[in-house]
Chain A
Amino acid sequence: MIAVFKRELKSYLSSPVGYSYLFIFLLVTGFFFWVNNIVANSTDTIGYFAYTRYLLIVILPLLAMKLFPEERKNKTDQILITAPISITQMVMGKFLAAYTMFVIGLIPTLINMIFLASVGYLEIGIAAGNYIGLLFIAAAFLAIAMLMSVLTESMITAFIMGAFSLALFAVADLVAQSLNITILSKIVSVVSVTSRYEQFNQGLFNISTIIYFLSIAVIFIFLTIRVIDKRRWS
């Protein structure tokens, strides 16, 4: 697992994909910060984090799209699958590498918080809650986008499918509200990410919310493993 993790992380850092991700993530979050806090002359970070959360929908598929399509196209998956490691170890190695990239991108944004705290009053609870929320929501989102990337041999398709399915998850609330059928809207709101996330926004830690995001991650990682395993049989 560690070998796959190391290779994958190194490959992010030696390829345009990794740097584009970091560049876009920092540029756009920087822009959000500029508009929401600097220009508005405010230390309220709720808007900033809300935008950042939506950014994840389009930017995490950038990390996930690289994980599997290229391996299949270049047949390098042969060395991984015939190596004496399990498919679970291989998938976890890849997932953790992508997740580490997300964390690497997130760290510099702490400067924004430090800046706010130094020039005015920063609500530490909200900032901390949101950072923790981002860490969990990103795990869930990455797992979903990873499943999309294992289904195709094209990076572009992986990206589009990833972003599309994440967007579906994120807007599930709106869909739920617009549906007049009670049962359907209930089901949809159960899987909805946005309403759950609100709690982090208030600086609240709810164990069930954390379990919710973790179980999404686990389910989609599991599905990814199953897809790879199933492919050997068909």
Chain B
Amino acid sequence: MIEVRNIVKKYGDKYAVNDISFAVNSGEIVGFLGPNGAGKSTTMNILTGYLSATSGTVKIDGHDILEEPTKAKRLIGFLPELPPLYMDMTVREYLDFVYDLKGCKFPRRPHIDEICELIKITDVYNRMIKNLSKGYKQRVGFAQALIGNPPVLILDEPTVGLDPRQIIEIRSLVKKLGKTHTVILSTHILQEVQSVCDRIIVINKGQLVADGDADTLTYKVAGNRKLIARVCGPKTEIVKTLRSLDSVIYVEALSSKESGSYDYLVESQPNVDIRKMMFSTLAQKGWPLIGLRSMDMSLEDVFVQLITNETGEGVE
């Protein structure tokens, strides 16, 4: 549905986007992830034809955004970072304007009413946009993107500035729309990607550093298994004993959080569970294991690792 090939965007001699390529299939929900200034918005602006890439091509359902802009743009609903609202219009006037602008063929009132129902803005329908709260403004921006029922939705940080309840609503809405639309959404909130997207594309410093689903990314980045164990007993001897266990790669005494005990970081080879062995060994020696938790990498860790690993080695 969306095909992006080698797009580059240069500002002066600085690269905002440096050779990004990916393809999105029909019906996928793809999350664009990256720190601020990574090039997410620039990429989205290029996808929608707001900016032109210095080089590279973007095709929406086979239509090149530069060569057949009208055909390609007709397929896209775009919610920019800042919703493009005219403050001097009412919601109704604004949506009517967007309807005309996009040259929609659907019957006007039922189509707009349906979208307002879906986005829950029916109760502010006749109010001036400038008097709406941030949450409602964001939703009107969302409604605008849906007008004309475009098969591709490009949403630039759709939940920024909303309260938690609204965020949940918007997320479930995106999920619902994802069943019938192809969605690309950008965010720097990881839970959002985790809860909404089928696939994650991580961008850092204008480059694509990872592309895959959450589990794949975690697996690729995670490496060794890490455990934190809290054990009572003599520090050096415990470290020595733990190091002598099979499959253990690294042991480090961390700090004392409870009197008489120490926390230890234990790293083992991936795919080996050393917990039972560790427990019985410590029990034999008479050193009680009073706490054990695994340090599974959260998506946060994966993300931090990805964007600090500048070359992106080992990751697709």
Task: Write the residues of chain A forming the contact surface with B, with a CB cutoff of 8 angstroms.
Answer: 2-4, 6-7, 10-11, 14-15, 74-86, 232-234
Given contacts A4-B101, A79-B144, A233-B52, contact A15 B73 (CB under 8 A): no
Query: Which of B31-39, B76-84, B206-214 is the contact stretch?
Result: B76-84
Min Cβ gap A175→B in Å is 38
| Extra 18 A-B pairs, beta carbons < 8 Å, given A3-B101, A7-B89, A14-B88 | A4-B101, A74-B82, A76-B85, A76-B86, A79-B80, A79-B144, A81-B49, A82-B48, A82-B49, A82-B50, A82-B73, A82-B76, A83-B102, A84-B69, A84-B73, A84-B102, A85-B103, A232-B51
Given contacts A7-B86, A15-B88, contact A78 B78 (CB under 8 A): yes
- A74 B101 Cβ-Cβ under 8 A: no
Q: Which residue of B lies closest to A85 (CB)?
A: B101
Q: How far is the CA of A84 from the CA of B51 in the complex (A)?
A: 14
The list of the 5 closest CB pairs from A to B, nearest first, reads A3-B100, A79-B84, A84-B74, A3-B101, A84-B73
- A75 B84 Cβ-Cβ under 8 A: yes
Given contacts A7-B97, A10-B93, A75-B80, contact A85 B70 (CB under 8 A): yes
- A74 B70 Cβ-Cβ under 8 A: no
- A80 B101 Cβ-Cβ under 8 A: yes
Task: Write the residues of chain B forming the contact surface with A, with a CB cutoff of 8 angstroms.
Answer: 11, 45, 48-52, 54, 69-71, 73-74, 76, 78, 80-82, 84-89, 93, 97-98, 100-103, 144
- B97 A6 Cβ-Cβ under 8 A: yes
Residue of B52, B87, B101 with highest tally of chain A CB at under 10 A? B101
Q: Which residues of chain A come closer than 8 Å to B70, judged between CB atoms?
A: 84-86
Q: How far is the CA of A202 from the CA of B52 in the complex (A)?
A: 50
Classify the interface of chain A: helix, strand, loop or mixed: helix
Min Cβ gap A168→B in Å is 32
- A6 B100 Cβ-Cβ under 8 A: yes
Q: Which residue of A lies closest to B94 (CB)?
A: A7
Q: Which residues of chain B come closer than 8 Å to A82, judged between CB atoms?
A: 48-50, 73, 76, 78
Q: How far is the CA of A4 from the CA of B78 in the complex (A)?
A: 18
- B100 A78 Cβ-Cβ under 8 A: no
Min Cβ gap B47→A in Å is 10
Min Cβ gap B147→A in Å is 10
Given contacts A75-B80, A82-B78, A84-B70, contact A11 B87 (CB under 8 A): no
Among A3, A75, A77, contact of B97 (Cβ-Cβ < 8 Å): A3
Q: Which residues of chain B come closer than 8 Å to A78, judged between CB atoms?
A: 45, 50, 78, 80, 84
Q: How far is the CA of A78 from the CA of B101 in the complex (A)?
A: 13
Min Cβ gap A174→B in Å is 41
- A84 B103 Cβ-Cβ under 8 A: yes
* Sample (29) of A-B pairs whose CB atoms are under 8 Å apart: A6-B97, A6-B100, A11-B89, A74-B82, A74-B84, A74-B87, A75-B81, A75-B82, A76-B84, A76-B86, A77-B84, A78-B78, A78-B80, A78-B84, A79-B84, A79-B98, A79-B101, A79-B144, A80-B101, A82-B78, A83-B73, A84-B70, A84-B74, A84-B102, A85-B101, A86-B70, A232-B50, A233-B52, A233-B54
Q: Which residues of chain B come closer than 8 Å to A3, judged between CB atoms?
A: 97, 100-101, 103
Q: Which residues of chain B come closer than 8 Å to A77, judged between CB atoms?
A: 84
Q: Which residues of chain B come closer than 8 Å to A74, judged between CB atoms?
A: 82, 84-87
Q: How far is the CA of A129 from the CA of B100 in the complex (A)?
A: 38
Among B50, B74, B81, B103, contact of A81 (Cβ-Cβ < 8 Å): B50
Q: Which residues of chain B come closer than 8 Å to A14, judged between CB atoms?
A: 88
Min Cβ gap A103→B in Å is 22
Q: How far is the CA of A2 from the CA of B73 in the complex (A)?
A: 18
Q: Which residues of chain B come closer than 8 Å to A79, judged between CB atoms?
A: 78, 80, 84, 98, 101, 144
Q: Which residue of B lies closest to A229 (CB)?
A: B52
Min Cβ gap A148→B in Å is 22
- B101 A83 Cβ-Cβ under 8 A: yes
Q: How far is the CA of A123 from the CA of B154 in the complex (A)?
A: 62
Q: Which residues of chain B come closer than 8 Å to A11, judged between CB atoms?
A: 86, 88-89
Among A2, A76, A86, contact of B100 (Cβ-Cβ < 8 Å): A2
Q: How far is the CA of A234 from the CA of B70 in the complex (A)?
A: 21
Q: How far is the CA of A80 from the CA of B97 in the complex (A)?
A: 11
Q: Which residues of chain A come closer than 8 Å to B86, judged between CB atoms?
A: 7, 11, 74, 76
Q: Which residues of chain B come closer than 8 Å to A75, judged between CB atoms?
A: 80-82, 84
Q: How far is the CA of A232 from the CA of B89 in the complex (A)?
A: 27
Q: Which residues of chain A come closer than 8 Å to B103, judged between CB atoms?
A: 3, 84-85
